[in-house]
Amino acid sequence: MPNINGQGATLLLDSSSTGAGAWCAAGPGITNLSFQVSHYGTSTASVTGSTVVIEVSNDGITACATVLGTITISSAAQSSPAADGFATASNWRYYRAKINSISAATAGAAGTTMAIKVFASGQAPI
C-alpha cells in the first residue's frame, strides 16, 4: 500500500475507466493534503470530461458515506491535459481516488487514448 508521506506526490490512480483505486495510507502526522487530477483527452472526441471523487476511511476497507471532495474536469481534444484539484486539512487515515464518470461529447471511444491520473501530496502542520 502506497503512503502519502510528505516526500512529493503519490500516484493514487492512473486509469481510463470508472472505478476506485487502492487505498493509500497517510503517513504519521500528515494532515495537510492536496489532490490533483490530470485528464488527458482523446484524439477522436471533441470534448472529454470526467468526475473524480476522493474517498476517505479509517480502516482502509470501507469508504465513508460522504466523500472528501469532488473534482469535475472538461477538456477539449488535443488541448489536454486539463487539471484541477483541491487542498484540505484532514485527519483520515486512508485515502483513495474513484472515477465516477467519463464522457465524450462526439463519436469516439472515451478510453481510446484517454487517461486520468490522480496524485496526492501531504505535509505535517508547521
Give the residue, 83 or 64, on which the prediction is more confident.
64
pLDDT band at 85 (very low <50, low <70, confident <90, very high): very high
pLDDT higher than 60, residue 10: yes
Report the alpha-carbon distance of residue 97 to residue 14 in Å, rounded.
10
**Looking at the DSSP assignment, which residues form a beta bridge with residue 83?**
38
Q: How far apart are CA 95 and CA 64, in angstroms?
A: 10
Helix (H), strand (E) at residue 102: strand 94-104
C-alpha distances in angstroms, 54 versus 10, 74, 87, 113, 116?
Answer: 14, 18, 11, 24, 14
pLDDT tens by residue, 18-77: 999 999 999 888 889 999 998 876 555 556 788 999 999 999 999 999 999 999 988 765
pLDDT computed for residue 111 by the predictor: 47
CA atoms of 95 and 80, how far apart (whole Å): 26
Q: What is the DSSP letter of 111?
A: T
pLDDT at 7 (0 to 100):
77
CA distances from 51 to 48, 116, 118 (A): 11, 10, 11
- The pLDDT tens digits of the residues spanning 92-125 come to 999 999 999 987 666 554 445 678 899 999 987 7
Question: What letter would DSSP give residue 3?
Answer: E
How high is the pLDDT of residue 76?
66
